[in-house]
Amino acid sequence: MSDRMDAALDLLNLPLFTILGEHVTVLEIFGFVTGALCVWAVSRQWIWNWPVGLVNNLAFLLLFLGAGLYADAGLQAVFFVLGVYGWIVWVRRRRGAAGASALVAPIQRAGRRDVVIAITATALGTVAVAWLLATETDSAVPWPDAFVLSASLVATWLQARKVLEHWWIWIAVDVVSVPLYAVKHLYLTAILYTGFLALCVYGLVGWRRDLRRQQTPAEPAVASAVTPA
């Protein structure tokens, strides 16, 4: 079993090409593809974004461990748990809204309580994780790594509840992540997060449009003018 595991890891870490002199591995490409599919599916409100995201979490867990991004690696494990939670919530809300045949669960807006929790959790989480990384690991980038972890957890929590404002948090995460991964020579991943940034803007615009449609009352059925015989 151990030999098979080592062989699988060797295959995943096989370099396929280089970007700016740095090798790009099979694992990083796999993370690129599954990550892009996941964010695109979220922007379209497709429920299969969750299982694709779970696969992506496993890929990035291995990738970030190898790059010394320990907070990001731990984040992927938590993402996996939240991904299962989000998948269940979307299925339940979809069925509760319009029966088992409904395509999507309804979108909602963040309330004052959501905003307070999001800001407080992100701030406290960033400080706590940055301190832990600075004192207990050899991380060279504790603060941005900690912010990405804390803000991403908050964004995933809001995403699982289909709160529109989760897109703004993902945008902030992507803005920080692009230079962070570039510094760690994960250039393909930095490019991926640049794409994530564009997809998040697309998702925000699309969800706003869908929310307006959702809030528009349905047109009443027009009564038939035919007089029964």
pLDDT tens for residues 13-32? 555 556 555 666 778 788 88
Helix (H), strand (E), coil (C) string for the chain: CHHHHHHHHHHHCCEEEEECCEEEEHHHHHHHHHHHHHHHHHHCCCCCHHHHHHHHHHHHHHHHHHHCCHHHHHHHHHHHHHHHHHHHHHHHHHHHHHCCCCCCCCCECCCHHHHHHHHHHHHHHHHHHHHHHHHHCCCCCHHHHHHHHHHHHHHHHHHHCCECCHHHHHHHHHHHHHHHHHHCCCHHHHHHHHHHHHHHHHHHHHHHHHHHHHHCCCCCCCCCCCCCC
Q: Is the pLDDT of residue 223 over 50?
A: no
Of residues 189 and 195, more confidence is placed in: 195
Which segment of 111-125, 127-141, 155-169, 180-194 scores lowest on mean pLDDT?
Answer: 180-194
Q: Is the pLDDT of residue 98 over 70?
A: no
Q: Does the global pTM surpass 0.85? A: no
